Amino acid sequence: MLYDKGNGYPYFMQTRAWANKELMTALASWAELRHDTILYGKQSTTPCGIPPDPPKSYVEPNPHLYARLASLVDYTKTGLENFDLLIDGFGDKLDLFEALLLFLRDVSIKELENAPLTTEEYENIFCFGKAMQDLVSEYPDPQNPWRSNTDDMAVVADVHTDSNTDRCLEEGVGYPLEIFVIVNEGGNTRLTRGAVFAYYEFVQPVADRLNDEEWREMLNNQRAPAMPKWCDSLMDLQSPQPEYYTDMPDYLYHKQFTTVAKQGSSASLPAIALANYPNPFNSSTLLCYDLQEPARVTLKIYNLRGQEICCLVDAWQSSGSHSYRWNGQNQHGVPVSSGVYVYCLWINQSLTKQKMLLIR
């Protein structure tokens, strides 16, 4: 929500309805956070069916979001490990979450570049629900792995008390809603179906504050309050909500994001011709490459429109390791905006290129 989705993003992401969908997701996520910190956060108050082949799935192309979350997951795991607070089994979930986010980041970039996805990438997208279930579930009985304790998505939290009216403001997360968007991906235009947060905001008597069980009973008995008025730009608020169901089909593919290889944080150069560290980056990144013999070298940076941003190298160079730092500025010294950039290395007119993500 922090920046406009302009040309280069799918049409549906440029609409007001999509912006409001993002708002609903953000608010529902906030309500979920308030629920989990209800004992520690002080309230504000007022004075007195599976097909035989891989389905052509689609990822909402938000590479900035996935990259930021992946960095946060890695930071969280490192911090817990340094303080010896990482619970057994939790590290595996963090690794899975980070792999999922990096995979979504990479697929998003390919979609924005209109690059075709591989069969394995489609399979990995199809495993999305399976991975999410593993993230929010625990399996207490190793002899019976099909039984799990899974967090329920529907939660509620009272976030504000009005002592003048003896009422409180409730923020609720409902069960997921279906969302349909038309996408142009892989050379085809098609209708896709996914899931989206459901967000509720309503008042309750202070003496009748809702707990999670009461809230879920309201949802299951079709007694949920009305959704916010601004949701009418993306859904028909007058239509009845479909009956909530808990059945989940088994997944045909169980490869959990095998196409993702986490980039190391070490400054040592891997055995590849061209790389940059870190990636994603905020203020600057180091571009590195090796020359087996002296050669004419040109190193340039481009945006996704093919426009040249700057030229870092254009000269004959000796053999060995070379590195150049890019500070996120164009050739005039002006900082460029957040986004995906391509750095191209010509060695004796032989081209190698890689992508990097700048996050302001």
Q: What percent of the chain has pLDDT over 90?
A: 39
Q: Return the ∠ at Cα 33 (arms to 62 and 140), rounded to 5°.
A: 95
The yes-or-no verdict on residue 180 having pLDDT over 60 is yes
Q: Which of 172, 206, 233 is the last residue of a domain?
A: 233
- Name the residue among 245, 259, 251 with its Cα closest to residue 55: 251
Q: Confidence band (pLDDT; 50, 70, 90) for 245?
A: low
Q: Confidence band (pLDDT; 50, 70, 90) for 54?
A: low
Any domain includes 6: no
The pTM of the whole model exceeds 0.85: no
pLDDT digits (tens, 9 = 90+) for 66-99: 999 999 999 999 999 988 888 877 888 898 899 8
Please tell me whether residues 104 and 174 are part of one structural domain. Answer: yes
pLDDT of 251: 57
pLDDT of 267: 36
What is the three-class DSSP state of 172? strand
The yes-or-no verdict on residue 255 having pLDDT over 70 is no
Instruction: Say how many C-beta atoms besides its own lie within 10 A of residue 24's C-beta.
Output: 21
- Name the residue among 281, 285, 311 with its Cα closest to residue 298: 311
Task: Write down the residue that tokens 């990822």 correspond to.
Answer: 59
Please tell me whether residues 183 and 113 are part of one structural domain. Answer: yes
pLDDT of 209: 94
Please tell me whether residues 193 and 333 are part of one structural domain. Answer: no
pLDDT digits (tens, 9 = 90+) for 264-292: 433 333 334 688 888 888 889 999 888 88
In the predicted model, what is the mean pLDDT of residues 105-132? 85
**What average pLDDT does the chain have?**
83
pLDDT of 246: 59
CATH number for 336: 2.60.40.4070
Please tell me whether residues 76 and 214 are part of one structural domain. Answer: yes
pLDDT of 263: 45
Q: Which of 181, 209, 233 is the last residue of a domain?
A: 233
The yes-or-no verdict on residue 244 having pLDDT over 80 is no
Q: Confidence band (pLDDT; 50, 70, 90) for 320?
A: confident
Any domain includes 68: yes
Please tell me whether residues 85 and 183 are part of one structural domain. Answer: yes
pLDDT of 346: 86
Any domain includes 315: yes
Please tell me whether residues 168 and 294 are part of one structural domain. Answer: no
**Which has the minimum average pLDDT: 34-48, 187-201, 222-236?**
34-48
- DSSP assignment of 212-279 equals HHHHHHHHHTT-PPPPPGGGGGTS-TTSPPPPP----PPPS---TTTT--PPP--SSPPSSSEEEESS
Please tell me whether residues 176 and 283 are part of one structural domain. Answer: no
- Structural domain that includes position 281: 274-358
Any domain includes 262: no
pLDDT of 273: 62
Q: Confidence band (pLDDT; 50, 70, 90) for 48?
A: low
What is the three-class DSSP state of 76? helix
Please tell me whether residues 68 and 137 are part of one structural domain. Answer: yes
Any domain includes 1: no
Q: Which of 182, 206, 233 is the last residue of a domain?
A: 233
Please tell me whether residues 281 and 197 are part of one structural domain. Answer: no
Amino acid in position 257: F
The yes-or-no verdict on residue 139 having pLDDT over 80 is no
The yes-or-no verdict on residue 327 having pLDDT over 90 is yes
Any domain includes 250: no
Any domain includes 158: yes
The yes-or-no verdict on residue 317 having pLDDT over 50 is yes
Any domain includes 239: no
pLDDT of 210: 95
Structural domains counted in the chain: 2
In the predicted model, what is the mean pLDDT of residues 163-183? 93
pLDDT digits (tens, 9 = 90+) for 288-313: 888 888 888 899 999 888 888 999 99
pLDDT of 238: 84
Partners of 346 in the beta sheet? 298, 351
Please tell me whether residues 173 and 56 are part of one structural domain. Answer: yes
Please tell me whether residues 217 and 80 are part of one structural domain. Answer: yes
In the predicted model, what is the mean pLDDT of residues 179-185? 89
Please tell me whether residues 221 and 292 are part of one structural domain. Answer: no
